[in-house]
Amino acid sequence: MSSESLPSIGDMMAASVPMVRTLNLEFTETTTERAVVRMADQPDFHNHVGGPHAGA
């Protein structure tokens, strides 16, 4: 099976880890050495003083 027909790591994580979908995480780079994940600023995940919640 070629790598072109395999789902991306980000797609597999979104399918198997609900929090990835909840936080709308975007896997922008995945290699055997590192993963770069982007999380957009989302007002729903701000704390009581307007900053990002520590759990997000």
Task: Please tell me the predicted confidence (pLDDT) of residue 35.
Answer: 93
Nearest residue to 36 via CA among 47, 25, 45: 25
The residues near 4 (Cβ < 8 Å, ≥ 6 apart) are: none
Q: Render the burial of 9-27: b for 16+ CB within 10 Å, e for the rest.
A: ebeebbeeeeebeebebeb
Tens-level pLDDT at each residue, the chain (56 residues): 566 788 989 999 999 999 999 889 999 999 889 999 999 888 888 889 988 877 65
Domains of the chain by residue range: 3-45
